[in-house]
Structure 1
Amino acid sequence: MFKYENFERLLHSSIKRRNLIIGAGAFTGLAITSQFSHQRAIAKTKFSTNPFTLGVASGEPDDNSVVIWTRLAPEPLNGGGMPAMNVPVRWEVAIDRNMKRILSRGTVMARPELGHSVRVVVEGLSPDTWYWYRFSVGKEASPIGRTRTTPAMGRGIYTNSLKFALASCQNYQQGYYTAYKYMAEDDLDLVVHVGDYIYEGGISTTGPRQHNSAEILTLADYRNRHALYKLDTNLQAAHAAFPWIVTWDDHEVENNYANFISEIDTEPDQDPAIFLQRRAIAYQAYYEHMPLRPFSRPVGPDMQLYRRVNYGNLATFHVLDTRQYRTDQPCGDGTKERCPEVLDPQATILGQAQEDWLYKGLSRSKGQWNILAQQVPIAQRDTRLGEGQTFSMDKWDGYLADRDRLMDFFAKRKPSNPVSLAGDVHSHWAMDLKADFNDPKSAIVGSEFVCSSISSGGDGNDNIPAYINDADNPHIKFYNNRRGYVRCTLTPTLWRSDYLAMSEVTTQSGTISTKASFIVENNRPGVQRI
């Protein structure tokens, strides 16, 4: 049976073998689950400072419910600063922005075993409707957040439109979150975040901001890192403005991890048993800080994250997890020429259970647009960094059997309008999905939009690598190396993606502009530039 306490023992054993020294005090938070599992006491609700320092958020909407979230953290970078006791938190949902017309209210318990985070599944709501919400404890009140339910499913019923932002990769140290300021002011229904919400690394002195600790390993470390990111006011504004659909990538745990295998490095968690303990801690902290439904609460090193979110009959989001179940990257995890292992039929980026779930859902979907909200680009990207073809082994390019099956499914089963959304690569891309990427004449079976980062990689530039226009990459229609997000607007007959890019992120004075716009027409796969 998994126990958090084992992590300290395993990690210290590994560190001793490598002659590393880490103070035992760094691990005092690891037994928090067992320590407080039977805690019945209720803390007095009086605070010297406002406990809602991390703002509010909502997510996982359907046609009659939505999740609202907050976390009590009067000392956000010091473990939250809460007593080791349960604390009752009141919540309210209203139909007006001034919170005068209260529709629903209740009390939820903030518990120490979940870092005093709270989530409420607010039910009994009307479809396709904006709501406002807030939390309070004692005499303190949270900011007011806004959220929205989805249209109801119905045979032949389509909502007029959906407008959402696609975002990923927000390394705190490498830039400011000014893109979120513009996003919060945008006319959106939803935000889809496809990973790298936090970064696990230590302190860098070369960027405009700094992390709050060395590389994170313990539950307290991960909580403090999430808190640091959530303290950003622009990120808080985007969370408060719209419901979010989230999935993770690698940096929520560790760079380029695969299933239970950590990347080969000199860190203590090179041992798979130790890495599973670290993964369990990282998953718990992620759950504590995201507006996910309770079914996603992790059990040890396992967390149910792949799921579907329907936006009426207009769109079905198939939210994927390409980290937890993948086999190790072939040929290592870098960018290099392909090795024979990329053709291994047993290699997988999805895992068998998730792949079966995806194909079954695509086959049964009633959505006009079938959206794969996932982490890394599916389309082939021949980057030609040296002589010959080179590919990133951490993307679908390293898992050809999985990708071939998916492209074959699109070609033969023809689910309605498949569109992949991805991030990870810190640059904007628009690409066609091909039945055979090595044959320029092969059929186009889907479309892919990849968003740049919010801040990861710094300012970037407008240079275009030669391989983008290479004859080997005719399916690549657009590339831009600035930071930003993608605004997607859907109707029953048309998808439009606007690529929004920041002039700079290493200062707070960056401006945003549209670099390009693309459409996908109903029943005509492939991207077309406007």
Structure 2
Amino acid sequence: MTSDGAGAPAGQNHPTTDRGAVSDTSRKTGPHRRSLLLGGLGLGATALAVAACGGSDSATPPAAPQLRAATPVPGVAEGVFGLGVASGDPLPDGVILWTRLAPKPTAGGGMPARDIPVDWQVATDAGFRSVVRAGTATAQPAFAHSVHVDVRGLQPGRDYYYRFRAGTVLSPVGRTRTAAAPGAGPEAAGGSLAFALVSCQDFQNGYWPAFDAIAADRPDLVVHVGDYIYEYDPDSKFPDRRHTTPQTPGLDQLQTLADYRNRYGQYKADPALQAAHRAAPWVVTWDDHEVENNYANLVDEPGDTGAKHQDPATFARQRAAAYQAYYEHMPIRATLHPGSPDLQIYRRLTFGSLATLNVMDTRQYRTPAPGNFASAIGPAALGADDTTGTMAGAAQEKWLQDGLAGSRTRWNLIAQQTMMAQLDGQLPPGSGQMLTNLDQNDGYRPYRARVLAGVRDSKALNPIVLSGDLHCAWVNDLRVDFDRPDTPVVATEFVCTSISSAFFLVSDEFVRDNNTRLNPHVRYFRGDRRGYTRFQVTPTECHADLRIVADISQRHSPVSTDTSWVIEDGHPGARPA
């Protein structure tokens, strides 16, 4: 493929989701799924016996559908749902349901090498007295016995509950929620959209109380902007948080499909992460660590030498394995072609007339960062001079611009990976040498100016950029030209802190002093706490709570709101709440 994303031709728009090159949402989410909706259709011996779908809104509800006598399946026993359940990519009439059969998640899964039928149900109540959709999917060994069901025929803007059954074993119950109907006014479905913004969950660095707090919040949505797993070798001060050992230890990276599957199995077995997945649908995108630190397109980590360095052809095989494992473990509406190093995941979701969520991929199509610095830190001038650089590729840039220009919603959210605001620094202070992180948008300054000029020129209402990666929390004013602080603010950026990954910059005090002198567009910064950002979007405002965990060295720890910010409808820029 080319670095500008030209291998992803534009596709037709769907009225409620736009996935660019792969936009036919009526297609299956993977080549391994079969699903039967019970609209009077007969089912096999392992399926669910249900009455005709009537739902709780019927004047005379039908008798509650019941599971027929369960049929044992050889090799399927308790623990088969050890990775839990999840849902994602909500539409007004549907949602993706996910699970993976894996009683031994860090040792290849532990399933027999044959297809396994998996029954599923969707109901309007947690007790499954009113089942509205049900069917059977096939979990295939070629896809790690994962299941993706694209359920349709649901009602917009409401909660649903779902579960799976394999043999005689029932899964945990998950809650999901559909998007508001197309064209519904901003006041539809209660007039709000509540979501959590998360990123960067290094398993080895500590525990995940933030996910327990998100589960307690019961948001409408969780938006994950990358670094769901980390690829590093086992090395943790917590005995129960040491990474799985890859096939080739010592490289400090994963390489094979088995490596990535076992690492996802380890992460997804965490009870706090499972609780957050059960609580709400997720919309996910990746950053670098799902493959390898600071990779760009088919170029592996800068500074790698010897056995760690891979040519593009070898790295393409690694990326194909990483992308397949990502698909196998995420509740994502995507089309996987096994063995291909490409997987389009940039897409657009709309929530009535209230909000549009543009989900970007700034890793797969980007050009290498200028300078090839192993630390990514280098002269800011290199980013300013990178006139041919891109983080998104030409096709995705156009997709974003067209989507913003065509938006008719009150709020327009752009979820992407690395901090968009300019962050210049001097070491030591006053030295005159302007440094920056070239793996961030700062390494691609002409690209960033194009994107922000497109945001401005699109006239899209109330644009907000949602970012992660830096392991610290920020609130930033965004301008087309950050060196001209007198120019208008075109959008606001919220950067969430990490779930558990360590803050890798210098002290908070140094960063704050540096921002005062060099980065006046930074409204808020904090780097010494882990957590997430919680949003409540209404027709009149976007309210953001920056949530922090007291101590990630404890599996359970208090989570509190450190600060709150508000953006008012029609007034760019955030202010303290």
The two structures have a TM-score, normalised by structure 1, of 0.89
CA distance in 2, matches of 1:439, 1:463: 25
- In the alignment, what sits opposite 2:177? 148
Give the C-alpha shift of residue 293 in structure 1: 1.3
Q: Distance in 2 between matches of 1:459 and 1:328?
A: 22
Q: How many residues align?
A: 494
CA displacement, residues 19-77 of structure 1 (integer Å, 9 cap, x when unaligned): xxxxxxxxxxxxxx9xx99xxxx994443432000000000001000000000001111
Aligned counterpart, 1:383: 425
Amino acid at match of 2:518: D
Q: CA contact under 8 A between 1:296 and 1:305: conserved in structure 2?
A: no
Partner SS state of residue 471, structure 1: helix
* In structure 1, C-alpha distance between the alignment counterparts of 2:184 and 2:275, rounded to whole Å: 36
User: Judging changes above 3 Å, is the alpha-carbon distance between structure 1 residues 468 and 316 closer, same or farther for their aligned structure 2 residues?
Assistant: farther
Bigger drift between 336-345 and 55-64 goes to 336-345
Alignment-mate amino acid for residue 394 of structure 1: D
Q: 1:522 corresponds to which residue?
A: 569
> Is 1:164 matched up with 2:199?
no
- Confirm whether residue 184 of structure 1 aligns to residue 215 of structure 2: yes
Give the deviation of 1:414 after TM superposition: 2.3
Trace 1:392-407 onto structure 2 (pairs within 5 A).
Answer: 392-407=437-452
Separation in 2, partners of 1:46, 1:426: 42
Task: Tell me which residue corresponds to 1:23.
Answer: none
In the alignment, which residue of structure 1 is the partner of 2:86? 57
Q: What's the TM-score, normalizing by structure 2?
A: 0.82
Alpha-carbon distance in structure 2 between the residues aligned to 1:196 and 1:296: 20
Between 437-446 and 240-249, report the one with greater CA deviation: 437-446
Match of 1:265 among 287, 295, 304: 304
User: SS of the residue aligned with 1:120?
Assistant: strand
Select 2:396's aligned residue among 332, 337, 354: 354
1:529, distance to aligned residue in structure 2 (A): 1.2
User: Residues 458 and 415 of structure 1: is their aligned pair in 2 closer, same or farther, counting only changes over 3 Å?
Assistant: closer
Alignment of 1:74 with 2:103, yes or no, is yes
Correspondence 1:473 to 2:519? yes
After the TM superposition, which parts of structure 1 deviate over 6 Å for at least 4 consecutive aligned residues? 458-462
Offset at 1:385?
Answer: 3.6
Q: How far off is 1:175 after superposition?
A: 0.8
CA distance in 1 between partners of 2:86 and 2:176 (Å): 9
Deviation at residue 503 of structure 1 after TM alignment: 1.3
What do residues 428-483 of structure 1 show as CA deviations (whole Å, max 9, x unaligned)? 00000012101121111100000000000179999433435423211101111110
Question: Which secondary structure state, in structure 1, belongs to the residue aligned with residue 448 of structure 2?
Answer: helix
Counterpart of 1:5 in structure 2 is none
Equivalent residues in 2 for 1:17-416, closer than 5 Å = 44-154=73-183, 156=185, 158-159=187-188, 160-207=191-238, 209-213=241-245, 214=249, 215-263=253-301, 264-266=303-305, 267-295=307-335, 300-333=340-373, 334-340=376-382, 342-386=384-428, 387=431, 388-416=433-461
Bigger drift between 281-290 and 262-271 goes to 262-271
> Match for 1:272: what amino acid?
P
Secondary structure in structure 1 of the residue aligned to 2:457: helix
8 Å contact kept, 2:324–2:336: no
Aligned to 1:236, the other structure's residue is in SS state helix
CA distance in 1, matches of 2:413, 2:392: 16
Unmatched tracts of structure 1, length 5 or more: 2-32
Tell me, yes or no, if the aligned pair for 2:208 and 2:499 is still in contact at 8 Å: yes
Structure 2 gaps of 5+ residues are: 2-29, 34-45, 47-71
Preserved contact between residue 330 and residue 342 of structure 1 (Cα < 8 Å): no
What's the CA shift string for 1:230-279, capped at 9, x where partnerless?
00000000000100000000000000000000123124442111001100
1:5-24 equivalent positions in 2, closer than 5 A: none
Identity of aligned residues (%): 46
User: 1:27 corresponds to which residue?
Assistant: none
Cα distance, 1:344 vs. partner?
Answer: 2.7
